[in-house]
Structure 1
Amino acid sequence: MISYTPRMSDTFVISIELEKRLERGASLYRAFAALDHPFAYPEDQYPEWHPTSYSFRGMVKLFYYREITGESYRSLTRQQELAGIFGLERIPDESVLSRTWRNRFDAEGRGFVTNGAHALVWEVHEADFYAPEVRPLQEIEPSLFEDDAESRPTFTDGQIARTTRLARNHVFESFDSGRAQNAMYEDSRFLELQAFLGMARCGTSQGATRFQFLRGKQYGPHGDTHLRTVKQFDSDELFDGFHEATERLLSVIQSGVSFHRPVTVAIDITTLRYYGNVEGMRMVSGTKEGDERAFKFATLSIVGWNIPIILAIEPVRESSPWDSNPPNRICRVVRRLVRRAQELPIEMVLCDSEFDAKPVYQTLSNLDVDYLILRRTYSAERAAIETMDDDGQDVAVESATAHTDHGSHAMQFLYVPSTKSEGTAVFATNLRVEPAEAEAFCQRYSRRWQIENEYKSIKYDFLAKTSSKDYRVRLFYFVFAVLLHNIWRLTDFLLKAGVDAEMDYAPVLTAGESRLRWFRETSSTATSACLL
């Protein structure tokens, strides 16, 4: 007898085959009846001597059916005609069904059933064809995609392949793990897998299995091998590799279109939530939410009329009660970001109030770049705003000088009507701005809106799932997610540049515009690669 080793990918193949038949108009009853090939199934948790009279394979199919339809145990007992389809003498009573699900299936077995069944429910509703037996989408917990709809993959198999091909052509050679030359897998295989994990919204273990399923068992490494390799990338070399890869992407962009120079850039900080013990975790910081903890990363991005590429990344390490870090000097983070990006001429740097500090002002002035930074409102600013209100003024300009240990420079504080709420916003700049120009000048700050969209895209479209608490893993995953975001923007650029030679940038593609037909588009490959 042939022995079949159960794999999580087998459950997806089952859902693909069922969906094909449903889309051709078959009932779910007939679709199950047509599943006449052997397929791998989870391990039976009952020992051989257990007196149960119900075939485990039949029970797997029955519970698969239940997860697709949402039928209650009582409802199933009233449909004895299902017994023949599933190879059972009869449908068990409610107590047996409940006990079987709890005791005869372990966590992996229950996941095998629910992952495949819920994937089918997703696909039927996404494809929007008539399948009345399939339960409403809102009833299921999307366990395949880890708890929330935003975890659902955004990209088709073809889009993942195209992005990976661009990455191989332009960026992979910038990264080196330092592993031995005779290692079983080249670094490029791990980078391909990382691209797949991010764009398919997978965890490492599940994603590595699916990657092998699609590309061949010998093509890609196992999940644990991938994690061990990721940890071998030196952090400094990782940032150098990102910088080199980004330069290559920019060279492609600049060679094919009229690129606006100098560029306006924005600096901001994003967080990746951390759960667990913080003792000894030097890179974990507190957040504005109080008791939450996170890894923090600062980025510098092109904004405005050019293609929105992230040019530089820097980790942010703060002083927290659980570590011995020195006080954070955000000006040093700003200096490193701007220096990495200054191969492109920078017209202006935009920052939010998190960077409102004289050392930041002076750092940017010393780097010979102009800045526009949103100010925090303290007592001096509130007093100035009250004076403006008394005088009936909407706009005011205050000249000042920034004095620090590393120099001084002339600057101005601009008081203008807030675009977000009633009241007045205050900005700092090292440019000379007349009161009549101040409001229009400060509207440049609105270009920062692109950053929030970038962060959302990075986290929900390109960041691979992981529960690892190891900073090396979280750092690599984030840097690579940013790189995938940049490559996706390059894809957008290449499509648009084929239409217009000169481009005032307005994205053709957003990552969320192409909903994944994951199982549908990989069905031909999947069916040939795995027996049902």
Structure 2
Amino acid sequence: MTATPNTKQTVLDSLRESHREWPYSEAYDTVNGDPWPLAWDAAAFIEEWFAHPEHNDVEEAICYVELSPSKFGYDVADWHFKQPPASLLKAHLLRIVKGWGGETALHDYLDDNPELVAELGFEDGLASKTTLWRVWNEDRLSDEHKQVVRTIGQVLVDVAREHDVPAPDEVFHPDTSVDTPDGIEQDDSTVRDRTIAKTREIWQQAKPIVTENYELPRGKNTEVHDNAFLEAHAFIGSREEMYAENGTWNFAAETTRNRVQTGSTHRHHLQKIGPDAARKMHRDTTRELIERARRDSELVDGVLVSIDITKSNPYRTKRKIESDEDGNVTNTWLLGYKNDGEDESTEFYFQWASIQIVGLDIPLVLDAIPVHRGLSRVAIVDQLLETATDMVDIELVMMDREFAHDPVKEVCEDHGVWYLNPGKMHSSERATCTRLRRQEKLVHIESDEASTADGDEGTTLDDFTAEETTDDDEGGRKRVYVPAMNAERTNDTIEDDEDSVDDEAGEESGEEDVLRQELLRDFAEATDADTEDVGQMFGDVIDEVREEEEEQELPGSKEDKELYMLFETNHPDLELPGDTGEDGDEMSELEKAHMAARVIRKYKHRWGIENGFKQIKSFRVRTTSMDHEYRFFNFLYACTMYNVWRLTDLLVKLELRAESEFRYEPLVTADLFLTIAKDYVGLDPPD
């Protein structure tokens, strides 16, 4: 709880200054007359409450909002069990805000949150379920006063969302009455049952959001409703090997609609949706889903995102494709190559760049753009960050090596986000690897400004003997060298004899070796390498390279380069050499390695975008069309359906309390979701 009596007094002072007649209900007979001034008073308080910078919790607001029982027509003397009337009223306001229809869910929730019980004002402990039921069901409130409480609850949710405070809709709350089995497995019948229920509930909630934000460029005198196109597209995308031509016939056989478009009409209208319009529709839908589903622990603080490029299934054709005089394909949207073999067909791709949330938050696709020939990586990052930063608070953006350019870094800094990506190794970077290998250093951090613009200046003897330079700009760009996966040390093991155990220096050395191994494993995870494919070990390679060193004319051999991996970042948690550790002394090698590991290990989450691309294909309508706009719409609409699946998976995890067991992977697989969604995802509720 961040609110205090002092912050509440600040709100009241501001409220009385901005609303001179507050509280309005004092001048009205709210018991037998007009009850609605109660709603006005509460709404004014709520507006001022969430305007305070320290008030960012819905439950906290409920605890502090003033609900006078006497103004709601209560006979206080008639209360049973001596429970505070105002606390009971606030408890039902909480129930309404949470979207619970009965007292069981309310009581179970409060029973699990004793601190909230105290904040609501229950001095002698939580009221019984029977008492909570009587408040709402034994005529203690008139129907009009009940509606006032409901209105206050809706105002509270709406104002909270306006101030970016998490306030999930009813469908996005877990059902607390669900019995959780002892061991949660993906093939468990309870998982299946909850997936079926949640898929139905979420689609009924999400479908109106989708259809309100997706618009087709069609005339007004159409006979087939726009929603039939969107329903059919979702229906077709969830089936394997189904195209628009045969998919619309299958959809017609299962839908309750009287009129359904043909396959050619379906494609004709969807391919008229341009990339900008498709992007806006997907963003608006995703933004509203985020707003409706945000909880205290998801999508609230800064999130990790990844930017990458994916391509469609290869478009192979023996049909002549127009080329210019240099042999380049004139269609700027068609990327790829022509095979040299006469028996092999030309292979082209349509490509899309996207920005996705990765890590432990809900993995959602925030935005995407189609990639055409000549589109720079800088422009891709700029366009995606421009829209994504307006949707969520981004802490760190991660990209692969093809985005390792200074202009990309500048764009990230312009948008106020930190970046992390592998760097490219030119001759000077390879020389640094040689110096590090000679000095047997595990980790090296330097200012990015220490490198040259093109990284190709010559290397002098000073580069290998000078101490690491210092730089006071902790928040600036940095370059970090860490051990590559194929360079893991194993020759630093502890000797298993009595002398080494009893010797203090030996114990200290052994602890360092264990820590080194842990750090190397962290770096290995960040590079996404398979531990079974680890090549020559670090120490052995050092010995071999030393033997050949005299034969090397210049430093910076290929062998040295393979020992380290280079990362570039502006993350402030990385300090440059020369800074002091916690004890005031200069950081040791191990402290430096730990510091680097805390930042670099974040990069392993980047691979979540690759998994996302694989799963999105499951939702995408198949096509052989050469129209890039139709293909891009297929991709983005599949991203929208992917987002709905990930929300369903989160809610099933919350209901079954399986978040710890499935932190990094879905509990509800895409195949299971699609199997169930086929019955709901493309069929109407009515327009």
State the TM bucket, normalised to the shorter chain: 0.5 to 0.7
Residue 310 of structure 1: aligned partner? 365
| Partner SS state of residue 233, structure 1 | coil
| Partner SS state of residue 315, structure 1 | strand
Q: 2 CA distance for matches of 1:394 and 1:310?
A: 36
Q: 2 CA distance for matches of 1:157 and 1:219?
A: 28
- Measure how far apart 1:282 and its partner are: 1.4
- Measure how far apart 1:516 and its partner are: 4.2
Q: 2 CA distance for matches of 1:210 and 1:256?
A: 42
Residue 233 of structure 2: aligned partner? 194
1:365 aligns with 2:413: yes
Residue 511 of structure 1: aligned partner? 670
Q: Deviations over 1:409-450 (max 9, x none)?
A: 931110012222553211101134143311332111000121
TM-score, scaled relative to structure 2: 0.48
Equivalent pair of 1:307/1:505 in contact (CA under 8 Å): no
Residue 264 of structure 2: aligned partner? 224
Q: 2 CA distance for matches of 1:307 and 1:297?
A: 21
Give the letter for the 1:274 counterpart. Y
Residue 244 of structure 2: aligned partner? 204
Q: 1 CA distance for matches of 2:260 and 2:196?
A: 17
| Partner SS state of residue 294, structure 2 | helix
Distance 1:353 1:518, change over 3 A: closer
1:447 aligns with 2:605: yes
- What does 1:266-345 correspond to in 2, within 5 Å? 266-272=306-312, 273-276=314-317, 277-279=320-322, 280-286=330-336, 292-319=347-374, 328-343=375-390, 344-345=392-393
Residue 464 of structure 1: aligned partner? 621
Distance 1:333 1:258, change over 3 A: closer
Q: 2 CA distance for matches of 1:356 and 1:208?
A: 44
Structure 2: 5+ residue runs without aligned partners? 1-194, 323-329, 341-345, 454-472, 485-523, 536-562, 576-591
Q: Sequence identity, in percent?
A: 29
- Measure how far apart 1:199 and its partner are: 0.7
The counterpart of 1:426, out of the listed 539, 562, 566, is 566
- Measure how far apart 1:372 and its partner are: 0.5
- Measure how far apart 1:500 and its partner are: 4.9
Equivalent pair of 2:278/2:633 in contact (CA under 8 Å): yes
1:165 aligns with 2:322: no
Distance 1:274 1:164, change over 3 A: farther
Distance 1:287 1:174, change over 3 A: farther
Distance 1:157 1:315, change over 3 A: same
Give the letter for the 1:442 counterpart. I
1:413 aligns with 2:460: no
- Measure how far apart 1:376 and its partner are: 2.4
The size of the alignment, in residue pairs, is: 355
The counterpart of 1:391, out of the listed 432, 435, 439, is 439
Equivalent pair of 2:307/2:353 in contact (CA under 8 Å): yes
Residue 379 of structure 1: aligned partner? 427
Q: 2 CA distance for matches of 1:292 and 1:212?
A: 35
| Partner SS state of residue 448, structure 2 | strand
- Measure how far apart 1:292 and its partner are: 3.6
Q: Deviations over 1:442-485 (max 9, x none)?
A: 111000121111110011x1011111111121111111111110
Distance 1:253 1:505, change over 3 A: farther
1:246 aligns with 2:286: yes
Equivalent pair of 1:358/1:403 in contact (CA under 8 Å): no
Distance 1:514 1:337, change over 3 A: closer
| Partner SS state of residue 408, structure 2 | helix
Deviates more, 1:286-295 or 1:416-425: 286-295
Considering fraction of residues, name the structure with more strand.
Answer: 1
Distance 1:239 1:494, change over 3 A: same
Greater Rg by CA: 2
| Partner SS state of residue 171, structure 1 | helix
Structure 1: 5+ residue runs without aligned partners? 1-155, 320-327, 526-532
Distance 1:513 1:387, change over 3 A: farther
Q: 2 CA distance for matches of 1:158 and 1:288?
A: 49
| Partner SS state of residue 218, structure 2 | coil
Q: Deviations over 1:77-103 (max 9, x none)?
A: xxxxxxxxxxxxxxxxxxxxxxxxxxx
Distance 1:169 1:498, change over 3 A: farther
Distance 1:165 1:517, change over 3 A: closer
Residue 138 of structure 1: aligned partner? none
Equivalent pair of 2:337/2:347 in contact (CA under 8 Å): yes
Q: 2 CA distance for matches of 1:182 and 1:164?
A: 28
Deviates more, 1:415-424 or 1:444-453: 415-424
Distance 1:307 1:288, change over 3 A: farther
Residue 403 of structure 2: aligned partner? 355
Equivalent pair of 2:199/2:673 in contact (CA under 8 Å): no
The counterpart of 2:223, out of the listed 172, 179, 184, is 184
Q: Deviations over 1:31-69 (max 9, x none)?
A: xxxxxxxxxxxxxxxxxxxxxxxxxxxxxxxxxxxxxxx
- Measure how far apart 1:218 and its partner are: 3.0
Q: 1 CA distance for matches of 2:676 and 2:280?
A: 36
- Measure how far apart 1:271 and its partner are: 0.5
Distance 1:351 1:389, change over 3 A: same
TM-score, scaled relative to structure 1: 0.61
Give the letter for the 2:478 counterpart. Q
| RMSD, aligned CA | 3.2
1:496 aligns with 2:551: no
